A and B are shown apart, each in its own frame.
Chain A
Amino acid sequence: MKYVDEYRDGRLAGHIAEKIRLEARPEQQYAFMEFCGGHTHAIFRYGIPDLLPDNVKMIHGPGCPVCVLPVPRIDAAIELAVVHKVILCSYGDMMRVPGSDRRSLLKAKADGADIRMVYSCADALGIAQDNPEREVVFFAIGFETTTPPTALVIRQARQQGVKNFSVFCNHVLTPSAISTILESPEVRDMGIVPLKGFIGPAHVSTVIGSQPYEYFAEEYQKPVVIAGFEPLDVLQAILMLIRQVNEGRAEVENEFVRAVTKDGNMKAKSLVADIFELRPEFEWRGLGLVPYSGLRIKKEYGFYDAENRFSLIASTGRDHKACECPSILRGVKTPKDCKLFGKGCTPENPVGSCMVSSEGACAAYYSYGRHQQALNNQKG
């Protein structure tokens, strides 16, 4: 596939890795956070940790939309389907995420709730048009990549006069999550997370551009390199970060120039600004309540807001006690620190959200760790 295969060339990967080994100073520790779950996935899938010297470490960030949605919001979605008897439309990845008492959308569906997996939010609007006698709610999750499509579908619902359609909005913002990590005591004071820089998200940045990261580079003196999702992109970004650290620079650099500009996609951004506004705060799994980190539907479009249309009982559900997802999402722990990893908790039967989506750190460790081992055994 064009723009994919060229960026997976194993020989070139070897060359970039060689450069990394040459340029990483042995006396220096390099710990970089890949914010985005798409990068976490790529890093494991292509065995990038094996190509890096011991003093270059990747810390996995909270940029997996499925992983950061807290239990009360999942409970609320289940309540919409079970108590309010709506047709609930959800992206597939959400289906197995455990809410309170390990209940999930999938289990609620098995118990008879009308929950449907959709590939796109346009499909949800279509379901509403096909079922005029039923209330249809789209369970909207995700960062800046899924927000413009949701905005578009809300506008279309109004234009087309669809009355039985609403959106349960859980859209969140990347820059606020990065700020929270940089402000966290683990990073600022305690030095538990010795963060030297960030790999900036690929597709989020196609929408928001590279400009929003300038603040982190300046204010916190942390380099940011925006990278594509292919293995050569990630390796090249790591090399660029190492160079910034070595030269004492903290700048925003863009490795993914083929799709990311400084200002991003203006058309998508202005549509989002038309439909959504900031919530004063929003809860994230692992990060807690983060100010101005989530979006809600503006009053003008309030008719399409499921939180207006249905009275939802605030759930006090919490994560499973032994689940380390909250610490993993802050970069403080790794999946191997969790007692349940691979034992009580597997992708088939997840206890926590990080084991559900292929972008979650636990799922990535589990799938590709095993894969790697099997390969090693074959070689051995």
Chain B
Amino acid sequence: MCLAIPVRVEALTDNDNALVDIGGVKKEISVALVEDVQVGDFVIMHVGYALNKVDPEEAEKTLALFAELGAAE
């Protein structure tokens, strides 16, 4: 039950909720626990709640690090 996934915020709706895209499926979740969520943000979703935002720059850096490891061979 701890499995949680990054989802994209498609629209902000009433009561601190948001419509998100989960690999093509739309779902309404709560974004009440996260400060300043905007359309286009990726958030980590868990039991119907966003827990935090994904930082796109840091995500790129981690991927670059993996790729570097590969290139060093």
Do B69 and A12 touch across chains, with their CB atoms under 8 A apart? yes
Flag the segment in A114-122, A291-299, A370-378 that touches B: A114-122
Task: Mark each residue of chain B from 1 to 43: 1 if its CB lies under 8 Å from any CB of chain A, else 0.
Answer: 1111110100000000000001100000010111100000010
Q: Tell me the bound Cα distance from A265 to B43 in angstroms.
A: 12
Q: Which residue of B lies closest to A266 (CB)?
A: B35
Chain B residue numbers with a CB within 8 Å of A264 are 52
Chain A residue numbers with a CB within 8 Å of B35 are 266-267
Flag the segment in A177-185, A251-259, A302-310, A329-337 that touches B: A251-259
Q: Which residue of B lies closest to A207 (CB)?
A: B51
Q: Does A152 contact B (CB under 8 A)?
A: yes
Q: Which residue of B lies closest to A151 (CB)?
A: B33
Q: Tell me the bound Cα distance from A45 to B23 in angstroms.
A: 20
* Minimum C-beta distance from A227 to chain B (A): 10
Q: Does A206 contact B (CB under 8 A)?
A: yes
Chain A residue numbers with a CB within 8 Å of B51 are 145, 148, 203, 206-207, 265, 268
Do B1 and A236 touch across chains, with their CB atoms under 8 A apart? no
* Minimum C-beta distance from A242 to chain B (A): 13
Q: Does A271 contact B (CB under 8 A)?
A: yes
Do A143 and B2 touch across chains, with their CB atoms under 8 A apart? yes
Do B58 and A207 touch across chains, with their CB atoms under 8 A apart? no
Of B49, B61, B66, which contacts A12 at CB under 8 A?
A: B66
* Minimum C-beta distance from B62 to chain A (A): 6
Do A149 and B33 touch across chains, with their CB atoms under 8 A apart? yes
Interface residue ranges of A195-226 to B (CB < 8 Å): 201-204, 206-207
Task: Mark each residue of chain A from 329 to 360: 1 if its CB lies under 8 Å from any CB of chain B, else 0.
Answer: 00000000000000000000000000001110
Do B67 and A12 touch across chains, with their CB atoms under 8 A apart? yes
* Minimum C-beta distance from A274 to chain B (A): 13
Do A11 and B66 touch across chains, with their CB atoms under 8 A apart? no
* Minimum C-beta distance from B64 to chain A (A): 11
Contact A258 to B1, CB < 8 A, known contacts A4-B6, A149-B33, A203-B51: no
Chain A residue numbers with a CB within 8 Å of B47 are 91, 119-121, 145-146, 149
Do A259 and B2 touch across chains, with their CB atoms under 8 A apart? no
Q: Does A229 contact B (CB under 8 A)?
A: yes
Chain B residue numbers with a CB within 8 Å of A204 are 2
* Minimum C-beta distance from B26 to chain A (A): 14
Chain B residue numbers with a CB within 8 Å of A267 are 33-35
Q: Tell me the bound Cα distance from A148 to B48 in angstroms.
A: 12
Do A206 and B44 touch across chains, with their CB atoms under 8 A apart? yes
Q: Which residue of B lies closest to A145 (CB)?
A: B46
Q: Which residue of A lies closest to B6 (CB)?
A: A3
Chain A residue numbers with a CB within 8 Å of B42 are 2-3
Contact A152 to B46, CB < 8 A, known contacts A65-B2, A268-B51: no
Q: Does A37 contact B (CB under 8 A)?
A: yes
Q: Which residue of B lies closest to A265 (CB)?
A: B52
Show 19 A/B contacts (Cβ-Cβ < 8 Å), sorted by A. Answer: A1-B22, A2-B6, A6-B63, A7-B63, A9-B66, A15-B69, A65-B1, A120-B30, A142-B1, A148-B33, A203-B44, A204-B2, A206-B52, A233-B62, A257-B62, A259-B53, A264-B52, A268-B51, A358-B3
Binding site for B on A (CB under 8 A): 1-4, 6-7, 9, 11-12, 15-16, 18-19, 36-38, 41, 63-66, 91-93, 119-123, 142-143, 145-146, 148-149, 152, 201-204, 206-207, 229, 232-233, 236, 255, 257-260, 264-268, 271, 357-359
User: Given known contacts A122-B48, A267-B34, A357-B1, what 6 new A-B pairs fall within 8 Å (CB)?
Assistant: A2-B6, A65-B1, A142-B2, A146-B1, A257-B61, A259-B54
User: What 5 pairs across the A-B complex have the smallest Cβ distances?
Assistant: A120-B48, A258-B59, A206-B52, A3-B6, A15-B70
Binding site for A on B (CB under 8 A): 1-6, 8, 22-23, 30, 32-35, 42, 44, 46-49, 51-56, 58-59, 61-63, 65-67, 69-70, 73
